[in-house]
Structure 1
Amino acid sequence: MDFASFLIQCLNALQYGLLLFLVASGLTLIFGIMGVINLAHGSFYMIGAYMAYALAPIVESTFGGGFFSTLVVGIVLSVLLGYLLEWAFFSFLYEREHLQQVLMTYGLILVFEEMRSILVGDEVHGVAVPPLLAGSLPLGELMSYPVYRLFVSGVCLLLAAGMYLVLTRTRLGMMIRAGASNREMVQSLGIDIKFLYRLVFAAGVAIAVLAGMVAAPVSSVYPGMGNTVLIVCFVVVVIGGIGSIRGALLAALLIGIVDTFGKVLLPSAAGVLVYVLMALILLWRPDGLFKVA
């Protein structure tokens, strides 16, 4: 492998890892802070990809905007969707057993898949890269790297920095962390914990939807695409430490490196390398890389 090929694989690993983080960060917020095992989180990623496909012509004809306007509309709709789902379904799960959480969120997967089939169909679709980001950067004499992939990595890094600042440097973040550790005490201080949890859930849904929307031009939009990413995201959450944003970021980058270079160097074993990595890390640190008290 020459240096240009190595550099391209490093960029691919970075982009894949950061995109994984974008999905897993929403999952670790919901799972780690609210204590709900949400199997439907991958469906939000799928909804985002289909939004990028289905909303684009509507937004263009209505507002005259392109891909970036579609992103804004999709994020607003996803926040509303997350808020309504928490109010209608998830607010009843906090005191329930994990089995009931799993059954209800699995039922949501079936509902979302059936609604997707009715509204959009079962065909595979593609989303065009926005013209502004359609170019490539030269890497050596024969190779180049798409600008859009660098844009995806940049969006993920900005969101990671924003989440870190909100959770560690703001009053809202302080209330979220307090509500995760002692919900009753936070309620006794006069904080509306129900509204706070709805905000957290809506943010988690919006992040997953954003991940699906920015990933749509890179990969195809197809039925069941959220199920595969859900499994890997749970691996990210477990490796990083349940509820830890920085742990999710580090775990996603590690998985991106292992998966990308595994497919290049050990293609026959690439499918299990991620799970071998998880097993090794859990043998070393059973609570994940960053334990959240």
Structure 2
Amino acid sequence: MTTIVLLAVTGLGLAALYFLAASGLTLVFGLADVLNLAHGLLVSVGAYTAWVTATSLGGSHPSTRDIAIAVVAGTAAGALVATVVEVTMIRPLYQRTFEQILVTVGLSLAGVALLQIVWGTQPLTFPKPAWTATVSTIAGMAVPNHSLILITAAAAVLIGLTLFLRHTRIGLIVRAGVQDREMVIALGVNVRTAFTVVFAIGGAAAALGGALGGIYFGAIDPSQGAALLIFAIGVVIIGGKGSITGTAVAATVVGLLQQFVNYYAAAGVGDLCVIALLAAVVLVRPQGLAGGKTA
């Protein structure tokens, strides 16, 4: 029983990381019809910004306050970079899908190369307070604190995005744009602002995942974001593009599936099961689990 609970919690921690990476991606894909293949770079931007901030403030043994500041800095950096990318690179290429793919792939490769030049190709140990490596007792079960941090952050982002989409003007424009972007434009609504806001939110969520992922994995490396992007895209497709709720459900399913299958079968088998699930969803329900519902 203890093993099952531990696998469930660590699987939910992994699912939370997938959700943070995929939540902004699904909104961008659903509203702007842009599959941002440089989105994984934003994860790395958050991770490395947090690492630099944490080591500058607290060295190899930062305090909880230092880590909190580092996570905020990483999140802000992701939002800033995403906004700049949307304004300077993506905005001129709306309705030009092939060029978007080329630009975002090129940006991703260039970003990884830049990180390797500055910080090297080897993983860097992520400094963190000692308590993040310990466990908390919940209902008599020992639960890793690093998983609880990710789960809490993902839950907060899910609630925040849901409230944003349902109760703000830009959020309503995003929801309407995901359902029928042409109609929203025909009504004279300026969707450009919504595009930029969605990119910024997506960049912030991805960077938050990168910063907290450093605590979860204990290390960061330049290709970590690109590797995470593969699963994030799978989560978006399984959940349904533009759907935050669908993304949350899909991330949970993928994270738990990976964790349990990799443990009870063999390492790597869980990844194959995720690919099989993705193929099944594409064949049976191509619109995803949520069927196009935004929130």
Q: TM-score, normalised by structure 1?
A: 0.90
| Higher deviation after alignment, 200-209 or 109-118 | 109-118
Q: What is the one-letter code of the residue matched to 1:226?
A: G
Where does residue 176 of structure 2 map in the other structure? 178
Contact kept? 1:238, 1:288, Cα under 8 Å? yes
Secondary structure, in 3 states, of the residue corresponding to 1:137?
strand
| Higher deviation after alignment, 270-279 or 101-110 | 270-279
Where does residue 248 of structure 1 map in the other structure? 247
Secondary structure, in 3 states, of the residue corresponding to 2:154?
helix
Distance 2:146 2:128 in 1: 7
Contact kept? 1:237, 1:248, Cα under 8 Å? yes
Summarize the Cα distance change of 1:257–1:57 in structure 2 as closer, same or farther, 3 Å threshold. closer
Q: What is the one-letter code of the residue matched to 2:5?
A: L
The equivalences for 1:207-222 within 5 A come to 207-219=205-217, 220-222=219-221
Distance 2:270 2:172 in 1: 40
Q: TM-score, normalised by structure 2?
A: 0.89
Distance 2:286 2:194 in 1: 30
1:169-212 Cα shifts (integer Å, max 9, x gaps): 32221122233344455456554322221111111111100100
Secondary structure, in 3 states, of the residue corresponding to 2:123?
coil
| Higher deviation after alignment, 23-32 or 180-189 | 180-189
Where does residue 111 of structure 2 map in the other structure? 112
Distance 2:225 2:193 in 1: 27
Where does residue 89 of structure 1 map in the other structure? 89
Contact kept? 2:10, 2:144, Cα under 8 Å? no
Alpha-carbon RMSD across the aligned residues, in angstroms, is 2.3
1:216-272 Cα shifts (integer Å, max 9, x gaps): 012121121122111111110111111111111111111111100110111163331
The answer to whether residue 279 in structure 2 is matched with residue 279 in structure 1 is yes
Where does residue 78 of structure 1 map in the other structure? 78
Question: Deviation of residue 123 (structure 1)?
Answer: 2.3
Where does residue 23 of structure 1 map in the other structure? 21
Unpaired runs of at least 5, structure 1: none
Contact kept? 1:36, 1:93, Cα under 8 Å? no
Distance 2:55 2:11 in 1: 32
Q: What is the one-letter code of the residue matched to 1:195?
A: T
Distance 1:247 1:85 in 2: 26
Secondary structure, in 3 states, of the residue corresponding to 2:216?
coil
Secondary structure, in 3 states, of the residue corresponding to 1:217?
helix
Question: Deviation of residue 116 (structure 1)?
Answer: 0.8
| Higher deviation after alignment, 43-52 or 252-261 | 43-52
Distance 2:222 2:201 in 1: 24
Question: Deviation of residue 120 (structure 1)?
Answer: 1.9
Alignment coverage as a number of residue pairs: 287
Distance 1:59 1:167 in 2: 36
